[in-house]
Amino acid sequence: MLSISVKDFLFWKKKQLSKGGSNQSFNVLLDCIGGISNSDLNLMIINPEKNLYLKKNLDYLESKWEEHLFNSSPIQYLCGITFWRDLKLKVTDKVLIPRPETELIVDIVFKIFRKKSKKIFFTELGTGSGAISIALALAFPLWNGIATDIDEDALEIAAKNYINSSKQSNLKFRCGHWWTPLENFKGKLDLAISNPPYIPKDTYEKLPREVKNFEPKIALIGGEDGLKHIREIINKAPLFLKEKGWLILENHFDQGEKVRQLLIKKKFTSVEIVKDLSGIGRFTIGRYK
């Protein structure tokens, strides 16, 4: 433990932030690596002469901050942690950092399934860090879910995140290509959710460095037009969903109408494009007949 006066620490913090980056990212670094949360710091500011204690020394914290600023390393990978809804999740470069806009998927589910007592069987295809499935399993302890991913390493992280966030046992993890791990559950699912890779190949090349150089390619690219995986998920969904079962998909900002048409072609009803908080048609939902 390193001890330093609050006054000196605040001076050092100001110097680090003058190099660039956001206050929010710096606070994540301080919390996850330094062991001092922003709320702790705010309480200490009234006693600037007092000392605070850090888990790592200032040189180490500075080196991590500079790695973030100058190599564009995502702060979440450097810290090994991200905050999503009310979850604290472990992340490595094997999983996509779950995005704030994806948090809305959970709210869409809340809106559709109001009755918490009803037992539901759900799946999430391409779970990554497990964020969506874990949030649902915790919110609905009576539900049962299977979270899948093609990547074993991602599933291992998702399973760890579930164990760390819960004492429940209503979520299982299975490895495989989209619906393949669910062969035994044909016609049994009330709900399927996916935030699949949907970035068109050309767009991927132009993504910011912090995404392209660090986040897993397999989590991002959706073929030439971005819809390769979405098409496959929609085409096979009728085999696995119960009658009136729901499919909820996240898509790229301009894909909503195309996804809507794909769902209608497969005889989905109640098809709707749901906007995110920026007014972008980020999700497309429908019921199988």
Q: Which residues bind ligand SAM (CB under 6 A)?
A: 96, 98, 102, 125-129, 131-132, 148-151, 154, 177-178, 195-197, 218-219
Q: How far is the CB of 107 from ligand SAM (least distance, A)?
A: 14
Q: How far is the CB of 196 from ligand SAM (least distance, A)?
A: 6
Please identify, using beta-carbon distances, which residue of 148 and 284 lies nearer to ligand SAM.
148
- What Cα–Cα distance (Å) separates residue 248 from each residue in 79, 104, 177, 180, 281? 31, 11, 18, 18, 13
Q: How far is the CB of 125 from ligand SAM (least distance, A)?
A: 6
Structure tokens given for 165? 């966030």
Q: How far is the CB of 26 from ligand SAM (least distance, A)?
A: 23
Structure tokens given for 156? 């291992």
Tokens 């690219």 identify what position? 221
CB atoms near residue 16 (< 10 Å): 18
Please identify, using beta-carbon distances, which residue of 55 and 174 lies nearer to ligand SAM.
174
DSSP state of 32: I
∠ CA 92-229-148, nearest 5°, is 50
Our measurement of the distance from residue 59's CA atom to the centroid of its chain's CA atoms, rounded to an integer in Å, reads 31
- What Cα–Cα distance (Å) separates residue 9 from each residue in 2, 23, 48, 53, 254? 11, 15, 9, 10, 45
Please identify, using beta-carbon distances, which residue of 219 and 262 lies nearer to ligand SAM.
219
Please identify, using beta-carbon distances, which residue of 28 and 220 lies nearer to ligand SAM.
220
Q: How far is the CB of 229 from ligand SAM (least distance, A)?
A: 6
Please identify, using beta-carbon distances, which residue of 196 and 256 lies nearer to ligand SAM.
196
